[in-house]
Chain A
């Protein structure tokens, strides 16, 4: 039964991967990668229950956080070409606090 849920998640991941490959713009790929990450979190959790080892939830939790930071990092890198913090103050609005 958990196998069916895991299969559904895997198919969703496959669809996200296809979108990631098709593009056409960078933002499609970032969105697809983010969705893929969300599906991965679910997959880890479901696999943990499937194998009777819910300890996997810790990993899923960690992955949820890394996925979020990763998405923002890709966006920041694509816009500024670097991840360092030596940006001019006026450009530090990646998260759109105020333009």
Chain B
């Protein structure tokens, strides 16, 4: 077990580093993407891979025990709640008549009615 420790440790840091990078990518996407609906995808990057990798990295920091269980539990809750709240926000925007930005900029000629018809 002791011989494995440095290996587990470096894998852990690899996970933490990649997770941080995905968090930053998501944050950049949150600023760069053109409209609300597109930004939900950036938030999705943060909520899934960013959090997932960081939580896995933290799990490897210690031996398996109660803290591992708690980290799994945090991941579990985020895994269930993040798509639900994303959906709640997106659905609320959709019901309120928020129109998605499309590539032919300015010509948002009501994608909603396009779909409804």
Contact = CB atoms under 8 A, between A and B. Distances in A.
B102 interface: no
B89 to A, nearest CB: 5
A65 B85 CA distance: 12
A61 B70 contact: yes
Contacts of B16: 1, 5
B89 A34 contact: yes
A72 B92 CA distance: 10
A30 to B, nearest CB: 5
Interface string B5-29: 0000000010011011101101110
Contacts of B87: 96
A53 to B, nearest CB: 11
Given A46-B54, A78-B92, A34 B43 contact: yes
B23 A39 contact: yes
B67 interface: yes
A57 B54 CA distance: 13
Contact of A45 (B26, B71, B81): B71
A75 B88 contact: yes
Interface in B30-80: 30-31, 36, 39-40, 43, 46-47, 50-51, 54-55, 57-58, 61-62, 67, 70-71, 73-74, 77-78
Interface of B: 13, 16-17, 19-21, 23-24, 26-28, 30-31, 36, 39-40, 43, 46-47, 50-51, 54-55, 57-58, 61-62, 67, 70-71, 73-74, 77-78, 81-82, 84-93, 96, 98
Interface of A: 1, 4-5, 8-9, 11-12, 14-16, 18-19, 22, 25, 27-28, 30-32, 34-35, 38-39, 41-42, 45-46, 49, 54, 57-58, 60-61, 64-65, 67-68, 71-72, 75, 78-79, 94-96
6 contacts: A5-B16, A28-B39, A31-B36, A32-B30, A38-B46, A38-B82
Closest 4 CB pairs of A and B: A15-B27, A8-B20, A68-B81, A12-B27
